[in-house]
Amino acid sequence: MIIACPACATRYAVPDSAIGVDGRTVRCATCRHSWFQEGPVIEVPAAPAPPPQPPVQQPPVEQVPPPAPVAAPPPPAPPVMVAPPPAPAVEQAPPPIADNFAASPSSFAHEPPFRPRRNPARMWTMLAVGFALMASGAMAAVYQFGLPAWLPLPQTGHSEPDLKLTFPAARQERRPLNNQNDYFNISGTITNIGQNRRSVPSLVIVLRDARNRAVYTVEAAPPKPVLNPGENLTINTAIVDAPKAAVSAEVKWKVN
């Protein structure tokens, strides 16, 4: 085989056995360059094709004749339907002439072109306006005539030990305001007449009319929750929205 140096391109003729099938490392005698030289390609002769085998003869297949067709049974006869006897005719009396005229629609009768639709928004608006008018009328009646006699009022009237209420009638009066309105003024004192400190509960102020009917009720918290022995507490309360019918005031302890 002929090999060539990849560095200086010097060609050498060497036998195939010197390189071998797997190849080996060689060195150029001119430039001293070493490289791995692949071995020669050995062509392997192709194996001869095997001789063709003679075809195998299959035994003849015995043909079986097809079975004879079997005749299908005839279909059953359809059942005979017997018609029921006709019902006897019932003679109907003709309707009265008046009913015929009443039942038949008249071509001259007036019919609306469409059915009116319901408007939920308009219905709720009308209900809200009606409720507002009723509430305004009720408030005006209470302001002018006071609360009705059947309305339940807070329970009052019990006594507190060692606490004395002093609200004289002369200091319960209606006074004018600067804007041509008026208010109901309530003035009085709470005194601890005992020897121990006492907690001051809330008060209930009831306004009454000339017939001694309760027309307004309001709860008032004391400005000081506890009183020492012998201590006084002054109460001044102004009710701006008092009814016009209120002429006197009653101050009592609130029942817890």
Mean pLDDT across 163-179 = 87
Q: What pLDDT shows up at residue 46? A: 67
| Whether the predicted pLDDT of 107 surpasses 60 | no
Q: Dig out the tokens for 78 from the structure.
A: 């359809």
Q: What pLDDT shows up at residue 98? A: 47
> Smallest Cα–Cα separation from 182: which of 239, 136, 139, 235?
239
Q: Whole-angstrom Cα distance, residue 251 to residue 203?
A: 7
User: pLDDT above 90 covers what percent of the chain?
Assistant: 17
Is residue 177 within 8 A of residue 183, CB to CB? The reply is: yes
CB-based contacts of 144, cutoff 8 Å, min separation 6 = 243, 244, 245
| Whether the predicted pLDDT of 244 surpasses 70 | yes
Mean pLDDT across the chain, nearest whole number?
Answer: 76
Q: What pLDDT shows up at residue 128? A: 87
Can you spell out the DSSP letters for 140-169?
HHHHHH-S-TTS----B----TTEEEE--G
- At 250, give phi and psi (nearest 5°): -130, 125
Is residue 242 within 8 A of residue 214, CB to CB? The reply is: no
Mean pLDDT across 89-98 = 55
85 vs 249, more confident: 249
Write the pLDDT tens digit of every residue in 213-231.
Answer: 999 999 988 888 999 999 9
17 vs 159, more confident: 17
Band (pLDDT 50/70/90 cuts) for residue 43 is low
Can you spell out the DSSP letters for 89-137?
P-PPPPPPHHHHHHHSPPTT----SSPPPP-HHHHHHHHHHHHHHHHHH
| Whether the predicted pLDDT of 142 surpasses 60 | no
Q: What pLDDT shows up at residue 101? A: 41
Write the pLDDT tens digit of every residue in 115-129.
Answer: 556 677 888 888 888
Mean pLDDT across 41-69 = 67
Is residue 237 within 8 A of residue 210, CB to CB? The reply is: no
| Whether the predicted pLDDT of 103 surpasses 50 | no
pTM above 0.75, yes or no: no
151 vs 224, more confident: 224
Q: What pLDDT shows up at residue 62? A: 64
> Smallest Cα–Cα separation from 248: which of 217, 207, 219, 218?
207
Band (pLDDT 50/70/90 cuts) for residue 208 is very high
Q: Dig out the tokens for 241 from the structure.
A: 């929205």
CATH 2.60.40: which residues of the chain? Answer: 163-253
| Whether the predicted pLDDT of 15 surpasses 80 | yes
Fold classification of 163-253 (topology level)? Immunoglobulin-like (2.60.40)
44 vs 211, more confident: 211
